[in-house]
Chains A and B, each alone.
Chain A
Amino acid sequence: MTRILLARSMKLALLAASACIPATAFAEDTSKGDPKAGLALVYTCGGCHGVTGYHNAYPNYHVPRIAGQNYDYLIAALTEYKKGERAHPTMRAQGESMSDEDIRNIAAYLSSLGTSGTAK
């Protein structure tokens, strides 16, 4: 009888513990980025994105305009570079050096720019 009870309480404990896992392991920090913190991080970006009409060397195409781009898209793009899901070597290296928080801050700053300044 005690053994059954023990087994039961252990099962319960396991169940309770496993119920806690998703909450902590998968809790994504979705807090909004801080544009001021982003401003301090974009110095490197300017080397290519800060030169009007600057071209990617090979293959040859313009480096995209990123000021005023949409917040969520910027996060998605930078995260894809970080994970190696987009090919561009320089941007992959940049992405790898960024934390998720850095990415949110950079996206917050860039999306606050542009001629509308309303993209958030």
Chain B
Amino acid sequence: MMHSTRFATLLSLTLLSAGAYAAEGGGAPGKTVEELAKPCAACHAADGNSTNAQYPRLAGQYHDYLARAMQEYKNGERKHAIMAGFVATLSDADIDKLARFYGDMPTKLDDLAHYEQGD
């Protein structure tokens, strides 16, 4: 009896910590960046150049800025229900992989340096 109670406590503690690990964004080991990017494509397009103006173009954006944005969605500094849901399960390594994946795509973005500014 005593034994089984202890076992149950141990088991529930193990399950709890596993849950906590997942909630902290333990990532999805073994997932390729293409697999990680699948949900992103629904809004941001497979080539990272969303044609729906509501969603930002990611292709060719600086990868460290993309990573920063994802981290901000994850820690709540930026509030967006959909993005918060997606990044919650990503580890730092996943975020970095995704950021470089989109950052390396052919871009339609540019630095403002190449344009006329002000009057």
Total chain A interface residues with beta-carbon distance under 8 A:
42
B107 at the interface (CB under 8 A from A): yes
Tell me which residues from 74 to 92 in chain B have a Cβ below 8 Å from any Cβ of chain A: 77-79
CB-CB under 8 A from B57, the residues of chain A are: 68-70, 119
B interface, over-half SS: loop
A interface, over-half SS: loop
A87 at the interface (CB under 8 A from B): yes
Check if B68 sits within 8 Å of A115, measured CB to CB. no
Asked, given contacts A40-B118, A70-B56, whether A61 binds B110 with beta carbons under 8 Å apart, the answer is no
When chains A and B are docked, how far (Å) is the Cα of A69 from the Cα of B44?
A: 12
Chain A residue, CB-CB nearest to B116:
A39
CB-CB under 8 A from A42, the residues of chain B are: 112, 117-118
When chains A and B are docked, how far (Å) is the Cα of A110 from the Cα of B68?
A: 22
Check if B113 sits within 8 Å of A46, measured CB to CB. yes
